[in-house]
Structure 1
Amino acid sequence: MITKVSRAEAQFGYGPGGAIAEIGDSLPESYWAHPHHAWSPLIASRIPGLEGVWLKYEGSHLSGSFKDRIMAASLGELLAREPGCPGVVVPSSGNAAVSAATLCARHGLPMVAIVPHSVPAERLVPVLSRGGLVVRAGEGPSDAYALAGALSEQLGFFRLYSTFASPWAEWGCRSIGLELAGQIGAGIGCVVAPVSAGPVLVGLANGLVQAGLAMPRLVAVQASGCAPIARAFAAGLDAVEPWAGVVDTKAAAIADRLAGYPQDGTRVLGIVRASHGLVAAVSDDELAAARAALLRHDGLDAEFSACAGVALLMRDRALVRNGTVCVITASGFKHTFAGEAPRLVPDGDLGERVEAFLVGADPAAELLR
């Protein structure tokens, strides 16, 4: 169930029966209108077969992901109400923690991130380097959320969540739709995006409506190793159930069982069906191929999970048409700097020609491959 609340009435948490509260007020320009350009670029893909697809690359934010939109709105509203906030607790699979650490550093706020054990330690360096504390606990996001709730109560800290438990999560993501309305206008026919709990896609759609545009067809993409929303869609169910099986994917940012908050998935299911869209799942092999294609053809370093939309479009070319927008939710810098990146061989014989030159010019030089 969805309940509308005013900006002034918005509070953290679900309502009676797990109801999701969405803010009826429009997102103010102060949270999205950049004085010179959009917060993230719109790039026409050059991936063979995907020509004409627009890529909304959210890796350009300060922290490298769309979570900056959520954290900016959440912290902005929090500090306006409670300027003496003692600190924040952030459950995360990585991106929300980095985003919160980035913004908390600018405000001088203490923060603690709760992340699953499955998140490699090297991907948490951007949080630690900004002065945040990191606790690794539990199998996935659902465990992190449960522990974060208890810790926030113990410390008296505010909770910064990126699920629908926070009405500011979906509200902040409306800025993506508002930007797209200015970048493309009325020509948006389909939006494809990776989805975990779902505020990114729902907020984007509501942002387009706030801009006065029609709701496009919405396509949510999950990892096949943890896909509770895609499973419900394929089964024709009206409600999403938590993922009870083994989580078998490297796409940690979208591998959420939704245990304790399956209504988030049901919200996504409802808006996708209302738009005559679909929810699909892609394999890790397809995600890896999409990441390599983005690097080779578009020069974009995308997080593994963030490649889900591109992976689906590469598999299902029927979705590729004029007016299709694919959201790349995060940069892949955490993977790349940890050595988790494909080594693509240049086309042709360039490597051999350079090696032949080095034999005579500088035998001690080394060509990296």
Structure 2
Amino acid sequence: MAQPGSFAALGECTMCARKQDTAFPDYCAHCGGSVVLPPTGPALPDTTDLPGMWRYTGRLPVTPDTAWLSMGEGDSPVVPAAGTADWCGVERLQFKLDHLNPSGSFKDRATAVGMAQAVRQRASAVVCASSGNAAGSTAAYAARAGLPAVVLMPEAVPPGKAAVARAHGAAVLRVRGDYSNTFRAARELAGRFGWINLTTTFVNPVAVAGLKSAGYELAGQLADPPGWIVVPVGAGPLVHGIATAYRELHGSGEVAAVPRILGVQAEGCAPVAEAFARGADEVAPWQHVRTRISAISDPLRGYPSDGTYTLRLVRETGGAMAAVADAEADEAANQLAYREGLLIESGAAAGLAAVRAERERGTIRGDESVVCMLTGHGIKTLSTDVDPGPVITGTDEAVRRLRARTELAEGMAG
């Protein structure tokens, strides 16, 4: 295992602005607010030839001596919509395929940086609260780092997501109740044993800083800043990452503008969207979770400052928050699978559903450029009891069955 590097940084509370020691990540010791690392700048260091996100050494809290941890995270492609632009009513729709990160989600951007922190500090273990994707990410990078991982998940977690974490050797425990209960348990374990907490709320500002890489990449992949970047939101660290990166790039003169952020939540757990809708400055915890979409169902009980900070960021970009029904997110996932060839979990596909809804409301114009962050692969949420299809005994039966499908029948005449 590599020796610890020399990186150190003070965080800053998003509520009281007091400086914070990030050696043991947590919320502000004075007011309980969310802590983030200060932005890089005004002159941004050049990228390097190191692998994965270590190319941004100097902009992110990573050092070259931990680059061996990289599994190629980041550099996910941006592709134009082939079949869903008309469904949404948006002419210039693109997708950033962050579900193609090594563990199948954007979480790898934060986990890789947080794991480098754990290695530098010679942590005895890492712990993570997760509704699914962060669990697999933490377990995978812990396996690479040679560190034990403890993963806590809500009791109703999709079995496929728990299976991924177990496959990498993590100790997986399900916690009674919703995600906020799981978050509390992970925070208590981290405090009791001195483990590095890789939960992807704002509890670990060093890990959260890794999410800036998504904004750096987008700016380099697009000729001009898009009108909107659509981000699924639980607590909102990805909003922070993208907005902060674009602000840094704008401050250094490398991009012309900071795009507006459209943050998206599930109707059954939408504390940030609800606060936005009523014009509030602070987010209140969500009391009763009523959604199947585990990836973005964070009630924020015990850490509402995460939502308040995310709300502020969205407003500062001139953006908006939206909430979509479970059925709308499921339909968007189907559209992505059928029309685009992209297998995306409903929590990530919720962004596409929100684009359609906000286009109908007039929030988004049809001629604006829109990039949806597709944050999680759908393979981990596929049901295991789906009918795998009929068994045939020969070609004649295959032809008969295939002719019954309208999309094939015309090409099978004769």
TM-score range, shorter chain: 0.7 to 0.9
Pair 1:119-2:188 in alignment:
no
For 1:237 and 1:148, how far apart are their aligned partners in 2? Answer: 30
Corresponding residue of 2:38 = 24
Residues 221 and 309, structure 1, Cα contact 8 Å, conserved in 2: yes
d(CA) in 2 for partners of 1:316, 1:249: 21
Sequence identity, in percent?
Answer: 35
Q: CA deviation at 1:360?
A: 6.6
Partner SS, residue 136 of structure 1: strand
What's 1:346 paired with? none
Pick the aligned partner of 2:206 from 160, 163, 168. Answer: 168
8 Å contact 1:32–1:39 — kept in the other structure? no
> How far does residue 169 in structure 1 lie from its aligned partner after superposition?
3.8
In the TM superposition, residue 361 of structure 1 has moved relative to its aligned partner by 7.5
Contact 1:137 1:143 in 2 (8 A): yes
Q: Residues 19 and 359 of structure 1: is their aligned pair in 2 closer, same or farther, counting only changes over 3 Å?
A: same
Residue correspondence of structure 1 range 69-148 to structure 2 within 5 A: 69-80=109-120, 82=121, 84-148=122-186
Conserved? CA contact 2:229–2:261, under 8 Å: yes
Deviations 1:241-293 (A, max 9, x none): 0001x311111111111000001000011111112211110001100110000
Distance change (3 Å), C-alpha of 1:104 and 1:285? same
- Corresponding residue for residue 239 of structure 2: 201
Q: 1:273 maps to what in 2? A: 315
* Residue among 218, 226, 249 paired with 2:291: 249
- Confirm or deny that 1:327 pairs with 2:373: yes
Mean Cα deviation higher: 44-53 or 314-323: 314-323
Task: Tell me, yes or no, if the aligned pair for 1:123 and 1:338 is still in contact at 8 Å.
Answer: no
Q: Secondary structure at the match of 1:211?
A: helix
SS in 1 for 2:322: strand
**1:25 offset after TM fit, Å?**
5.0
Query: What is aligned with 2:67?
Result: none
Q: Deviations over 1:268-322 (max 9, x none)?
A: 1111111221111000110011000001111111111011110111223242444
Structure 2 residue identity aligned to 1:78: A
Please point out which of 371, 384, 390 is paired with 1:338.
Answer: 384
CA contact (8 A) 1:192 1:219 kept: yes
**Residue 272 of structure 2, aligned match among 229, 241, 246:** 229
**Which residue in 1 is equivalent to 2:343?**
301
Distance 1:97 1:174 in 2: 20
Deviations 1:140-185 (A, max 9, x none): 2210111112223444422112111211243111000000010004
CA-to-partner distance for each residue in 1:98-131, whole Å, 9 max, x for gaps?
A: 0001101111111010000010333311111111
Check the 8 A contact 1:221/1:281 in 2, yes or no. Answer: yes
Q: 1:342: how far off?
A: 12
Quote how far apart the aligned CAs of 1:204 are: 0.8
3-state SS, counterpart of residue 197 of structure 1: coil
Structure 1 Cα separation of the partners of residues 156 and 234 of structure 2: 16
Given candidates 72, 81, 84, the residue that maps to 1:45 is 81
SS in 2 for 1:240: coil
> For residues 154 and 23 of structure 1, do their structure 2 counterparts lie closer, same or farther at Cα, with a shift above 3 Å needed?
closer
- Paired residue type of 2:326: D
| One-letter code aligned to 1:315 | A
Q: CA RMSD in A?
A: 3.1
Unaligned runs of 5+ in 2: 1-12, 57-69, 407-414
Offset, 1:37: 10
Answer yes or no: is the 8 Å Cα contact 1:93–1:119 preserved in 2: yes
Q: State whether residues 233 and 264 of structure 2, in contact with CA within 8 Å, keep that contact through their aligned partners in structure 1.
A: yes
From 301, 312, 321, the counterpart of 1:259: 301
Distance in 1, Cα, partners of 2:398 & 2:182: 56
CA contact (8 A) 1:294 1:301 kept: yes
